Structure 1
């Protein structure tokens, strides 16, 4: 058994025992991942394997959280096989869902509130997603869903589909949202033209476009806040 084996460490330095004794705040990212993968290799402890994995993604948990199981395996980190990659992606997905649940809204009051909710869902996606939030007269959210998904550089949203769903959900107002995988928050000319097109079409049905929000890892951009609606 190599000296680096967790079993040879002091009890309060082993990840699981350390968590029980000191709480999860006392653990490093590598130690938390080590608990997930359970064991290391013949030559490396689970913590050492976890450190190798983190080094492969520049110690960036956001970058790790974007990777699929296949993409983690492509990193070729010794000691990380399919089962461990699945455990890691599942844990990170739970973290994202927890964040979404914490920011879930029932009533929209400020753009920053709905932006936080939408950003939690879409900021880490590696392809562009266009979603719509449907609201009633009291600005209570009746429904929200992704209406189209595209590639890395863009997606196309059909105003007819958006308005059809608005009518089906008896919505009196809608909030448009899409992400920018590039990280840039600046709306493109296509973004501006699509917003104008949907806004004009919605007006014929007395449906108001309250906002169009662009989200990325760097924050959000609100058309309404910028006076573009």
Structure 2
């Protein structure tokens, strides 16, 4: 359903003109950018799904590869959304280097979408400050994830250098199955224990693939 087909009282454009842009919800603002929904789903409902899927803090830091996976979002809609968010950041003087907040596991996963389709395993660490803002993202290793290959020193040296308060681990499964393996849990436990000694907590370990992601913190698998 397109905006013009909705009852006038529910149309975001008319609401903006009559009351002002500040009276529109996040979903209504997004609906104005999308302009149309998909078969069986109005543009406002599609916008609500996107808002529900991402936290407000991560919404302006969504990548193209992640956004295009949302049902109803094609290339044109994805580009429109990304362009609008980038323009708003520049207008606010924040620029593209504004520090995104990592509040939920989905926020962390959004920072790892660049490795989800890789043919080799990439082990990546996100370094956060005390406000859970992403300070640095670094690829630690490429290849099979193994406790003998991933040394805690390689994880925590950058953390100490940038004065990170906590870290989030992440790696991809080229097989497409994002279920944490026994090896994943072994590596995680070793790094968690090392972090306790250094006073730098491991907040999560995200396993991502082309079919989705798993959060070891959400599954209570960090210990």
> Could you say which TM-score interval applies, normalised by the shorter chain?
0.5 to 0.7
Aligned partner of 1:107 in structure 2 is 101
- 1:170: Cα distance to partner? 0.3
Residue in structure 1 matching 2:221, options 205, 221, 228: 228
| TM-score normalised according to structure 2 size | 0.54
2: CA distance between counterparts of 1:154 and 1:206?
Answer: 24
Does the Cα contact within 8 Å between 1:128 and 1:180 map onto a contact in 2?
A: yes
Is 2:188 aligned against 1:195? yes
CA RMSD of aligned residues (A): 2.6
Larger radius of gyration: 1
After superposition, the C-alpha distances for 1:97-156 in whole angstroms (9 at most, x for unaligned) are: x8xx98x961111111211221x2111101110000001111011101100001xx5463
1: CA distance between counterparts of 2:111 and 2:167?
Answer: 15
Structure 2 SS opposite 1:204: helix
Residue in structure 2 matching 1:117, options 95, 106, 111: 111
Residue in structure 2 matching 1:207, options 189, 193, 200: 200
Structure 1 SS opposite 2:198: coil
Does the Cα contact within 8 Å between 1:105 and 1:114 map onto a contact in 2?
A: no
Is 2:154 aligned against 1:165? no
The list of structure 1 runs, each at least 4 consecutive aligned residues, that deviate by more than 6 angstroms after superposition, is none
Structure 2 SS opposite 1:226: coil
User: Across the two proteins, how many residue pairs are aligned to each other?
Assistant: 130
> For residues 1-229 of structure 1, what are the structure 2 equivalents within 5 Å?
106-118=100-112, 120-150=113-143, 153-154=144-145, 156-229=149-222
1: CA distance between counterparts of 2:126 and 2:170?
Answer: 8
Q: What residue ranges of structure 1 are gaps of 5+ in the alignment?
A: 1-61, 63-94
1: CA distance between counterparts of 2:206 and 2:127?
Answer: 14
Question: Kindly tell me: are residues 105 and 213 of structure 1, through their superposed partners in 2, closer, same or farther at Cα, counting changes over 3 Å?
Answer: farther
2: CA distance between counterparts of 1:105 and 1:157?
Answer: 27
| TM-score normalised according to structure 1 size | 0.52
2: CA distance between counterparts of 1:223 and 1:154?
Answer: 16
